[in-house]
Structure formats: C-alpha cells, structure tokens
Amino acid sequence: MKTQTAVEMSETYLMNTYRRQGVAFASGQGMRLTDVDGREYLDFVAGIAVSALGHSHPALVEAIRSQAGRVLHVSNLYLIPEQALVARWLVEHSVFDRVFFCNSGAEANEAAIKLARKHARRFGPGRYEIIVAEHSFHGRTLAALAATAQPRYQQGFEPLPAGFVAVPLNDIAALRAAVSAATCAVLLEPVQGEGGVLPAEPDYLRAVRTLCDERDLLLIFDEIQTGVGRTGRLFAYEHARIEPDVMTLAKGMGGGVPIGALLAKDAVAQAFQPGDHGSTFGGSPLACAAALAVLTTIEREHLVDNAANVGSYLLQRLRALAAAHPLITGVRGQGLMVAVELGADAAPVVDACRKSGLLVNAVKPSTLRLVPPLIVTPADVDEAIAILETVLASLPEPAKA
C-alpha cells in the first residue's frame, strides 16, 4: 500500500480523532523506520516513548513469536504464569509488593483512582478527592480525563467525574492548602510528559511525601511515560529518593505490545478484593511475554545506564545548539525524555525534520519532544542534531520584541 492509498482509506473509514502526519511505515529495525515508499527515518519519537528496545529487537520478536505459538489468551478466570513472572520482576526491582495488569496507561490510572478511593474507605465514606497538578496528563477515559488538568483535553466531554483538585506543580504551599477532609490521595507525574516535559523538583516531591505521611494520604506516581528506564533510572521516583505508595506503568513496558500495570504497597493493595476491579485482556500471556522480554533485555543490555548517559549527551548537544540558534529558547529534560522550547510554532520544524529523515513531535504548540528508544547511541544523537541544525538554519529567526 502506497502512502496516498493509506491516506485515502484512512480518511474514508477511520474516525477523525488524530491529526496524522502524511507518512505510513512498513518496517523498522533498531533506531530506524522505513515507510511504504522505501524512505528511511531516524526515530526520536519511539511511538511516544513506547518502543524502548527500538524496532524489531530480536529478543522481543522471539518472545512474541514463541508465545503466539503456545497460547494468546485465556482471560483472568485462570492462572497466567507469564503474569506472575512479570509481576515478580517488577516487585523485585521496585519498592512495591503487588501488581495488577491492564492494557494501557489510562486503564492503569483508572485502577489507581479506584484503589485510592477504596483504600480511603477505612477512614469513612467522605474521603474521595485526589489532588493533581496543573498541566498533568493521565489519560483520555473519563476519570483519567478528569484528573488531567488541561482544559483543552476536557472540552466537550463535560460533565466530568467529580473529585479532582488541581494545583500548580512544584508549589508545596498550594498543595498543602488544597488538602481537605475529603482528600484521599495526591497523583503526580515525576516528569509531566504531555504537559511539555516539565520535571517535578526533587525537593518538592520529598515535601509531598512528607505531607502525605502527615495527613494519611496516598502518594500515587503516574510513571506511564517516565517508567522503565526513560529518565535514566528504572523508575523516576528514584531520582527524588522517595517511595510512592502506588505507581502506574505502561508505554515502554511492552515495547509496543499494549500493557499497563498498577503497582502498590501491600497495605494499600489489600483494599482490592475479588470483584473490585478486572480486565478481560489485561495481563494476557502474549502481552506479559512481551513485557518480560523488554524488562529483562533492558536489564541485560544496561539500557537504563544508556538512557542516563546518552540522555546527558543529548541535552549537552541541544544546549550547544540553543546557544547558536535564537529560535531555541530553552532545553529541559531528564534521561531520554527531552523538550526543546522554540520561539515559534513547532509544527513546521516537525514537518521539516520528517522530510529530512528525522522523527520528532510537538508536545505543545512551541515545544519539541525527543523520546528516542533506550538503545539510542551518541552517533544517533549526532545525526539527529545535524538534521535539526540544518532545519533550524533554514527557518527565519524569531522577530525581536
């Protein structure tokens, strides 16, 4: 199928829910994607921080092929050994005791919201509110959307479920003031992804942990995008040297196969009893076989260290580029989760980069996001910077105020 055919069929048969770029991919290998017309691209989007091992990694391909030849699905009416193996790996590599599997980040956050409210029942029925941060993003299902403190995602879907209070990120005084007798939990992203790659300050997160302890609140970390090595630590909570009570994962955990997870300390996890929550497809043999391959490969190939080291190099190269190009007004990030702030619309930069063989995306109208696979090398960074530099040089400088 050629690109134009894909465009025409998509416009004819698919709901108009995405602003898709005019490229269709046929295959991928490592850091590269190849479109249906045979053109190759360096991938610094990774399926929105999903393809942790890059494309067609042999360990992931073999795990999927092998599992598909045995059993794909049985449902959670029965024991699923592959689930137990992934859960054990996650528990042994984190501060949590129990795991629930689902299919996506939004589902993981929905489960976390339900768990927080059920757990709060030990204090009585009046505790149900969850404090979230402005510019957060927790998913597009209704409760996760209500927790997403960005009006542009919420417009047209009102009335949203009640019970969420938004405060500015990195403002402990505002958070403390928002706590009431109805509060049961605080839900935060250690680095806000869709908000523009905005890191929460370690001191702030430590202060939030202390406040939650003082007021008997659960601390929930949404690590859908930051988890599984993305920030240069296996989990982003490690940067602040604190332990949340609950954590959600998805994106990079399956390497492209849909899977999400809710992790919790045992005292919190006990709030869920049979019938309280569930999923027909969650934690299927296929998804868990893929996740186990991704997690063990990340560990075996030292990709968390690679994310830290190459991520530092990427920030260094981008900051040097910013010093030479007035169009760049800021660079920020952690590990391989990086944003480039522009003094102009980011869309033309994204388009020009794609036409030059580099995939990046605009997470905000003037913000580029770079989230390459964890296998990225310094040479890949150099190639990406060279393309970005050429693109920036071809654009007019922003008008002076």
Residues 239 and 110 in one domain: yes
* pLDDT at position 400: 54
In a domain, 384, yes or no: yes
In a domain, 398, yes or no: no
Residues 140 and 273 in one domain: yes
Q: Which of 164, 221, 251, 380 is catalytic?
A: 251
* pLDDT at position 396: 75
* Containing structural domain, residue 38: 3-56+302-393
Query: Residue 188: beta bridge partners?
Result: 221
- 247's CB contacts (< 8 A; 6+ apart) are 94, 96, 220, 221, 222, 223, 227, 235, 237, 262, 263, 264
* pLDDT at position 358: 98
Q: Which of 101, 137, 221, 235 is catalytic?
A: 137
List the CATH number of the domain containing 252: 3.40.640.10
Q: Measured between alpha carbons, how far is 141 from 111 in angstroms, rounded to an integer?
A: 11
Digit-coded pLDDT (tens) for 37-94:
999 999 999 999 999 999 999 999 999 999 999 999 999 999 999 999 999 999 999 9
Residues 70 and 205 in one domain: yes
Q: Which of 35, 43, 222, 245 is catalytic?
A: 222
245 has catalytic annotation:
no
123 has catalytic annotation:
no
Residues 70 and 219 in one domain: yes
Residues 347 and 218 in one domain: no
Q: Which of 297, 287, 306, 296 is nearest to 376 (CA)?
A: 306
From 270, 300, 330, the end of a domain falls on 300
Residues 193 and 296 in one domain: yes
List the CATH number of the domain containing 32: 3.90.1150.10
In a domain, 290, yes or no: yes
Buried/exposed 169-207: b ≥16 CB within 10 Å, e otherwise: bbebeebeebbeeebbbbbbbbbbbbbbbbbbeeebbeb
In a domain, 216, yes or no: yes
Residues 348 and 358 in one domain: yes
SS3 label, residue 302: coil
From 263, 283, 300, the end of a domain falls on 300
In a domain, 401, yes or no: no
From 300, 322, 339, the end of a domain falls on 300
Q: Measured between alpha carbons, how far is 249 from 86 in angstroms, rounded to an integer?
A: 13
Residues 292 and 368 in one domain: no
Q: Measured between alpha carbons, how far is 103 from 84 in angstroms, rounded to an integer?
A: 16
**At which residue do the structure tokens 């795991």 appear?**
99
Residues 139 and 254 in one domain: yes
137 has catalytic annotation:
yes
In a domain, 399, yes or no: no
Residues 368 and 238 in one domain: no
* pLDDT at position 285: 98
* pLDDT at position 401: 46
Residues 292 and 316 in one domain: no
Q: Which of 1, 23, 5, 16 is nearest to 356 (CA)?
A: 23
Average confidence score pLDDT of the chain: 96
What distances in angstroms separate CA 333 from CA 1, 232, 234, 287, 390, one per listed residue? 38, 11, 16, 30, 22
In a domain, 18, yes or no: yes
In a domain, 400, yes or no: no
Residues 226 and 371 in one domain: no
Number of domains present in the structure of the chain:
2
Which of the residues in the chain have pLDDT under 70? Answer: 398-401
What is the pairing mode between strands 246-249 and 260-264?
antiparallel
